[in-house]
């Protein structure tokens, strides 16, 4: 085991897969000589050269389209978005090309592409750099969507995504890059379609992902001291959602709280509620509680920015209120 920062875990995964497979390459703005905006590709250009670590102009639609074309010809590109918000400029390429071509070609093409980069609400990054795009992409058929949350799962999931023959949107949270954890020095790969049970419990199922995993863990540390016993599930896979793990937990606890940084309207939580109602409605003792970000562009002002997202104290109170209803 070695203590590793999350951005280093992502860099290790990329390096190991590039060494293993000569068809793997990295494309994006400042990924080469500069080493990436958050140093995820640091040192890779010196090791693999211009053709495999390609610096591009500031033109997300162009280099994403180029990467999709490269994937069609047998390469395995990793596209780094300097900020995932910028990939809205490549929405047409991701939806009409990456998501569709395997199907519209009758299976003649596979699209083994990973589109990854930082997103989420940072610290005073402004509205355009603080968007959560997971719900935007969730509606696109043909994509897989991953949200990593720890150095351990970041490395194992990115390796799996690179090896997958389908397009994978890989979300990293901008405030988790310096998160440190012991991870194995040996090679490992994690499944792309499985949620993680972070903590087993009996009182309530808390569904979360990305940075909110850590807010939930912090909240539950306090709740356990008060006598509550929540179960925490990190979704990890946002498409497809691991309804087997989710449903099994709900059948045990009979209560659900969803904690997300995504917008409340048409967010990941909204899709989760629909699936829970379709699959395990009869096991619910109460309506599902949804804690989501405010439906507003994220303010630049630090205090206002903080007020738009969910914090541990709100999670604690939601658990108390929900279980109090059963008393």
Q: For residue 325, what pLDDT band results from cuts at 50, 70 and 90?
A: low
Question: Is 98 found in the same domain as 214?
Answer: no
Residue 326 pLDDT more than 80? no
CATH code, domain with 234:
3.40.50.920
Question: Is 174 found in the same domain as 213?
Answer: no
Question: Is 293 found in the same domain as 234?
Answer: yes
Residue 327 pLDDT more than 70? no
Question: Is 300 found in the same domain as 232?
Answer: yes
201 part of a folded domain: yes
Tell me the pTM.
0.95
Task: Using the 3D structure, point to which of 183, 218, 252 is the last residue of a domain.
Answer: 183
Residues above pLDDT 90, as percent of the chain = 92
Q: Which residues contact 248 (CB under 8 A, 6 or more apart)?
A: none
User: Which of 69-73, 118-122, 167-171 is least confident?
Assistant: 118-122
244 is catalytic: no
Question: Is 215 found in the same domain as 155?
Answer: no
The Cα 28–Cα 255 span in angstroms is 43
pLDDT at 123: 87
Question: Is 232 found in the same domain as 151?
Answer: no
Question: Is 143 found in the same domain as 98?
Answer: yes
pLDDT at 115: 97
* List 12, 29, 60, 261, catalytic entry: 60
Residue 13 pLDDT more than 70? yes
Q: What is the pLDDT of residues 268-284, one digit of tens each?
A: 999 999 999 999 999 99
Q: Secondary structure of the chain in the HEC alphabet?
A: CEEEEHHHHHHHHHHHHHHHCCCEEEEECCCCCCCCCCCCCCCHHHHHCCCCEEECCCCHHHHHHHHHHHHHCCCEEEEECCCHHHHHHHHHHHHHHHCCHHHHCCCCCCCCCEEEEEECCCCCCCHHHCCCCHHHHHCCCCCEEEECCCHHHHHHHHHHHHHCCCCEEEEEECCCCCCEEEECCCCCCCCCCCCEEEECCCCCEEEECCCHHHHHHHHHHHHHHCCCCCEEEECCEEECCCHHHHHHHHHHHCCEEEEEEEECCCCHHHHHHHHHHHHHHHHCCCCCEEEEECCCCCCCCHHHHHHHCCCHHHHHHHHHHHHHCCC
Q: For residue 308, what pLDDT band results from cuts at 50, 70 and 90?
A: very high
Question: Is 68 found in the same domain as 162?
Answer: yes
Question: Is 279 found in the same domain as 152?
Answer: no
Q: What is the pLDDT of residues 180-217, one digit of tens each?
A: 999 999 999 999 999 999 999 999 999 999 999 999 99
Token representation of residue 215 = 């807010």
311 is catalytic: no
Q: What is the pLDDT of residues 105-158, one digit of tens each?
A: 999 999 999 999 999 998 888 888 888 899 999 999 999 999 999 999 999 999
Distances (CA, A) of 103 to 43, 98, 164, 195, 273: 37, 10, 16, 27, 29
Average pLDDT over residues 36-56: 94
* List 12, 45, 129, 260, catalytic entry: 129
Q: How many domains are there within the chain?
A: 2
Question: Is 232 found in the same domain as 91?
Answer: no
CATH code, domain with 138:
3.40.50.970
**Which residues span the domain enclosing 36?**
2-183
| Closest among 250, 257, 256 to 283, alpha carbons compared | 250
121 with 308: CB under 8 angstroms? yes
206 with 197: CB under 8 angstroms? no
Question: Is 170 found in the same domain as 107?
Answer: yes
Q: What is the pLDDT of residues 82-98, one digit of tens each?
A: 988 899 999 999 999 99
Task: Using the 3D structure, point to which of 149, 183, 217 is the last residue of a domain.
Answer: 183
């Amino acid at each position: 085991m070695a203590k590793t920062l999350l951005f280093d875990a992502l860099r290790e995964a990329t390096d190991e897969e590039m060494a293993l497979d000569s068809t793997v390459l990295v494309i994006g703005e400042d990924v080469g000589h500069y080493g990436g905006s958050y140093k995820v590709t640091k040192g890779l250009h010196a090791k693999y050269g211009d053709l495999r670590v390609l610096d591009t102009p500031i033109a997300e639609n162009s280099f994403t389209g180029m990467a999709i074309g490269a994937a069609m010809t047998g390469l395995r590109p990793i596209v780094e978005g300097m900020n995932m918000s910028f990939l809205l400029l490549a929405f047409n390429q991701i939806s009409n090309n990456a998501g569709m071509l395997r199907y519209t070609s009758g299976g003649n093409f596979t699209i083994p592409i990973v589109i990854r980069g930082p997103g989420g609400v940072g610290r005073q990054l402004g509205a355009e750099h603080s968007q959560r795009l997971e719900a935007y992409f969730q509606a696109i058929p043909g994509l897989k969507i991953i949200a990593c949350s720890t150095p351990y799962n970041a490395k194992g999931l990115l390796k799996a995504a690179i090896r997958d023959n389908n397009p994978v949107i890989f979300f990293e949270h901008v405030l988790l890059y310096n998160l440190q954890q012991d991870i194995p020095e040996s090679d490992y790969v994690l499944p792309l379609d499985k949620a993680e049970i972070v903590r087993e419990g009996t009182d309530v199922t808390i569904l979360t992902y990305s940075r909110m995993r850590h807010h939930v863990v912090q909240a539950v540390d306090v709740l356990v001291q008060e006598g509550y016993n929540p179960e925490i599930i990190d979704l990890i896979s946002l498409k497809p959602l691991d309804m087997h793990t989710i449903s099994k937990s709900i059948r045990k606890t009979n209560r659900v709280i969803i904690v997300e940084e995504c917008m409340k309207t048409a967010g990941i939580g909204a899709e989760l509620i629909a699936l829970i109602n379709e699959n395990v409605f009869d096991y619910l003792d109460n309506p599902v509680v949804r804690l989501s970000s405010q439906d507003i562009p994220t303010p630049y002002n630090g205090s206002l920015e903080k007020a738009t997202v969910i914090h541990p104290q709100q999670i604690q109170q939601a658990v108390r209120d929900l279980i109090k209803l059963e008393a």
